[in-house]
Amino acid sequence: MKQEKKSYVKPTIVRHSVGVTNKYGRPPATVPMSRLNGFDVKELVNEYGSPLYVLSVEQLRQNYQDMFRAFSTRYPGARIAYSYKTNYLKAVCSILHSEGALAEVVSGFEYDIARNLAMPGEKIIFNGPYKTRDELARAFTDGAMVNIDNYDEIQVCEEVADELGRKFPVGVRVNMDLNNPPWHKFGFNVEAGHAYEAVKRIQSGGKLDVKGLHIHVGTYVDDVNIYSMAAQGLVNFYTVIKEQLGIKLKYWDMGGGYASHNTLNWAWQSAEYTCPTFDQYAEAICPILLKGPFQAAEAPRLFLEPGRALVDEPISMITTVVSQKRLPGGKRGVIVDAGMNVLSSVQWYNYNCQTVQDSGLTLEDTILYGGLCMNIDVLRQNAVLPPLRRGELLVIPHIGAYNLSQSWQFIYLRPAVIAIDNGKIHLIKASETREYVQEMESVPKEFNTYSIANKN
Amino acid sequence: MSLNVAITGLHAADNPAPGLGVIRCLHHPKKWDGKIIGLAYDVLDTGIYDEGLLDHAYLIPYPNTGSKAFLERLQYIHQQEQIDVIIPTLDSELTVFQKIAPELKSLGIATFIPPKHITDRISKSQLAEFCESENIPYPETIVIKDPGELKAAVKKIGFPLMIKGVYYEAYTCKSMEDVHQYFELLRLKWGLPMILQKKLDSEEFDVCCVSDKNGDLLGAVPIRKTRLTDKGKAWAAVTLKNEQLMELSRRILKKLKWSGPCEVEILKDKKTGEYNLIEINPRFPAWIYLSTGADQNLPKMVIELAMDKTVSPMAPAKSGICFVRHATDLVCPMDYIENLTMLGELHYKSSE
Amino acid sequence: MSEIFKSEVTLSENGFLFDHGSGLTYTLNTTGQFIFRQLQSGQKSKQIMEKMLDEFEVIEETARKDLDDFFRQLNELGLIDL
Ligand SMILES: Cc1ncc(COP(=O)(O)O)c(C=O)c1O
């Protein structure tokens, strides 16, 4: 007689300890996320390999539109310049440009990416502490907005202006004592009078013309008051340089730093309660700037340079369990095939981990290890997860910022990136191959005696 | 009218949560008419096992699990028990309740807590600014945002001083060595900013207050703690008649437009005789049961306010009433633990 | 009670396990409970394997590996003597 068999889950026994005894007390990691942006997670991995980065195009566009609406409805003509460093995949930049974003770049390499994507110079903001003479010459010629970071750079810019035989508009990056630690590395300090001196120095040189002010208060700044203080600081500073030096600004730039919906490792509360909305940021900034020393028609253009707030959420990582083990002391360790080399923000973020398959309701405190041969490769010190077997999948959402641009190639090849748009999958970056990784290398003949001897 | 009331903060071990005191107020002078539903975060939250106090106990998710999971669990409990009012009693829950208050309201569950923009003003790092702008006396305070500011701030305030983390913990410092030691400790734990505050040679008073949605004070019980545990928690206290404490509390809550319960901590400077605000806890204190003795049943008042009743100010609290905290052991069968562990709920038979 | 257990154990209907010897408590999932009850009725691992294959939608290789893991864990927790 054939009886209907029961569905099977791996047998588990979990010892009760403080915190584990509240079955409602934990994130719903056990609600399996079998589909991602409408596609079966397993099938995506079968097709494109694991680990795998997955971009939701719709979410990316939505974030851009939300932010643009929040600022442009409060400050007429506000513009978003996407901070390339956060993730400069060509496809990601292109999508944001198609929505209307300008490019914010901090190196010649990034500048080149933007130009290559047909961004005209006047839609590029060139920031950063180190720009070469050639890069500056190119940027000035293209009509890009160059924000000067330090005195040495003033000097180089003037030399470039001399060579090109023209006077160029420039922006000045300033910093203020707003947060901890203050970002004193970049630009000229306002409180100490350095910013005023710099503007004065540029104007008196007669070769450049100060037309912009730039500030970037930090990254993952979830206190909107800091933006309000920065905005007020810009207004005050503009008032001074306008009255005393006759400066008339064309633009001011509030930089990036807007928090995304990830919780920091050391945070006391989940980001859900602490991460401000775009509307809250805009409300903290725009009304203050609009009280600046100008008539409405002469309001400087406002730029924002968001990075993580736009691209963190839209990208997820799929990773595969390679092993589960018991550590001395009884705690469970799970090793997955993605390491911190492709998820470097684990240093900052307490990423969520979702199971893909239904693994039952028994949860256990788990150390989630990355797959690198390095003891420091830990993705989560304490994830609460159901039993997992080799081959099972996990989804780590909201990882789009910095993890790709800061990834490093180490012992494994880096994974592919796919974009899902309107129910269609596009491969936007193939996974690396050994040939690609070694493409720039060469072995002088003299070193090669072993392989030549063993060829035949 | 009989109302079903859900209450959090049921753990009363070495640092008692206020929920149990709130429940005992509701049962005073006679057993509460509706159901009392305990909302607990752990199977071993002690109050669950105090059989006479609760009719039902349910486990709920930690607020950091996310407001969605939190709300869903409350919805489930509401379906079982038809909750009329929830009284949250823990600092760590305030944000989630503020966030889901509209959803709770549409489910027919009332709360009476101040909105976020008001509680933000009394956060440790904002309080000095509030006092400054509203002319409320407070001990000299400097908010440190950068380690580089430490020296100058210490010099300005002088010893002894208090050094406080943004959320929790405070230490007294008598020397620069103390400052460095505790600064590092707090920085590792809570990060910056950090609060430096002059330590006054002073007497400490607490006032448990309830004010309505205009910030008008309706009831207040001022006390002096007469004995503290080594963690600084009250273990004995006495109610007072003190117009200055009342006046200062009234002024503070009106300026804030505070709506709901709170505990106002006030220091009287021994030198100048001035009363200084040091902190406002946005919830009932753990010693709230004392309020019944002072003829001010403040939890019952909060329920009336939550139900949108008009409430008139109470007569001043009776002074000279004391409480002593007394720990006791509760005994229960393993079934209780099993039910909570496996099902996340426990129902006492007496309530059926 | 089977002699494999180190002390008296009570497994409730919903998978809550109390170890009378140590005073510790545990949660078992459905498969864990199934195996545990077999152990309590004195079955040996080979018979338990067969029962598992009868009862659940599972292939032998998986069941064997999981059963091994499970026994190892019970042993580590000090509940049984392998
Ligand atoms: C000048 C500038 N703008 C924008 C950003 C983007 O920052 P975020 O990703 O925090 O928005 C950065 C990042 O460091 C930056 O240096």
Residue numbers in C near A16 (CB within 8 A)? 24-27
Q: Cβ contact (<8 Å) for C32 and A11?
A: yes
Quote the percentage of chain A above a pLDDT of 70: 94
Question: Can you list the residues of chain B whose pLDDT is less than 70?
Answer: 350-352
Beta bridge partners of A349: A264
pLDDT number for residue A332:
86
**Letter string b/e over residues B8-19, b meaning 16 or more CB atoms within 10 A of that residue's CB:** bbbbbeeebbbb
Q: Cβ contact (<8 Å) for B344 and A24?
A: yes
Residues of the domain holding C66: 9-76
Residue numbers in B near C14 (CB within 8 A)? 338, 342-343
Distance (Å, whole) CA A311 – CA A399: 8
Distance (Å, whole) CA B93 – CA B85: 16
Interface of B with C in 310-349 (CB under 8 A): 334, 337-338, 341-343
Q: Cβ contact (<8 Å) for C16 and B338?
A: yes
Question: What's the total number of domains in chain C?
Answer: 1
Q: How far is CA A371 from CA A46, A343, A376, A411, in A?
A: 19, 11, 11, 10
C26-46 pLDDT per residue, tens: 999 899 999 999 999 999 999
Choose among A61, A63, A67, A64: nearest CA to A278: A67
Question: Is residue C3 in some structural domain?
Answer: no
What average pLDDT does the structure give for chain C? 90
Residue ranges of chain B assigned to CATH 3.30.1490.20: 140-198
Residue numbers in A near C62 (CB within 8 A)? 8
DSSP A249-265: -SEEE----B--S--BT
Mutate to test the interface with A, among C72, C73, C75, C77 (most CBs of A within 10 A): C73
User: pLDDT tier at C64 (50, 70, 90 boundaries)?
Assistant: very high
Which ipTM did the prediction report?
Answer: 0.95
Angle subtended at Cα B149 by Cα A239 and Cα B117, rounded to the nearest 5 degrees: 65
Residue numbers in C near B343 (CB within 8 A)? 14
Strand (E) or helix (H) holding A95: helix A90-99
Fold of B140-198: Dna Ligase; domain 1 (3.30.1490)
Mutate to test the interface with B, among C12, C13, C22, C27 (most CBs of B within 10 A): C12
pLDDT number for residue C1:
47
Average pLDDT rounded to a whole number, residues A178-190: 82
Which residue is closest to B336 within chain C, CA to CA?
Answer: C16
Residue ranges of chain B assigned to CATH 3.30.470.20: 201-324
- In this structure, are residues A354 and A395 in contact, taking their beta carbons and an 8 Å threshold? yes
Which residue is closest to B343 within chain C, CA to CA?
Answer: C14
Q: What is the 3-state secondary structure (H, E, C) of B154-188?
A: HHHHCCCEEEECCCCCEEEECCHHHHHHHHHHHHH
Q: Which amino acid belongs to residue A103?
A: A
- Which of A219, A310, A313, A406 gets mutated to test ligand 1 (max ligand atoms within 8 A of its CB)? A219
Choose among B233, B210, B246, B209: nearest CA to B323: B233
Ligand 1 atom at minimal distance to the Cα of residue A258: 11
> Nearest by CB to A180, which of B44, B192, B341?
B192
In terms of CATH architecture, what is B201-324? 2-Layer Sandwich (3.30)
Q: Which residue has the tokens 């939550």?
A: B306
Interface of C with B in 27-66 (CB under 8 A): 27
> Nearest by CB to B61, which of A25, A182, A266?
A25
pLDDT number for residue A40:
96
pLDDT number for residue A25:
60
User: Would an 8 Å CB–CB cutoff place B191 in contact with chain A?
Assistant: yes
Hey, whose CA ends up nearest to atom 10 of ligand 1? A257
pLDDT number for residue A352:
87
Judged by average pLDDT, the poorest of A147-151, A283-287, B27-31, B125-129 is B125-129
Neighbours of chain C (3+ CB pairs under 8 A): A, B
Q: Cβ contact (<8 Å) for C16 and B342?
A: yes
A39-71 pLDDT per residue, tens: 999 999 999 999 999 999 999 999 999 999 999
Judged by average pLDDT, the poorest of A107-116, A367-376, B106-115 is A367-376
Confidence (pTM): 0.81
Residue numbers in A near C32 (CB within 8 A)? 11-13, 362
Strands annotated E in C12-53 = 16-19, 25-28
Strand (E) or helix (H) holding B29: none
Residue numbers in A near B63 (CB within 8 A)? 269-270, 273
Q: Cβ contact (<8 Å) for C16 and B341?
A: yes
> Nearest by CB to B42, which of A18, A177, A266?
A18
Instruction: Please report the domains of chain A, with CATH numbers, ordered by start residue.
Output: 28-55+314-433 (2.40.37.10), 57-311 (3.20.20.10)
pLDDT at A28 over 70: no
Pairing state between β A378-385 and A364-369: antiparallel
pLDDT at C61 over 70: yes
Fold of B5-111+328-351: Rossmann fold (3.40.50)
User: Would an 8 Å CB–CB cutoff place B107 in contact with chain C?
Assistant: no
State the distance from the centre of ligand 1 to the C-alpha of A408, rounded, in angstroms: 20
Question: Is residue C66 in some structural domain?
Answer: yes
Question: Is residue C50 in some structural domain?
Answer: yes
Question: Is residue C4 in some structural domain?
Answer: no
Mutate to test the interface with C, among A8, A362, A365, A390 (most CBs of C within 10 A): A8
pLDDT at A375 over 60: yes
- In this structure, are residues A400 and A314 in contact, taking their beta carbons and an 8 Å threshold? yes
Ligand 1 atom at minimal distance to the Cα of residue A214: 1
With a Cβ cut-off of 6 Å, ligand 1 is lined by A 83, 86, 104, 127, 216, 219-220, 255-258, 305-309, 401
pLDDT number for residue C13:
92
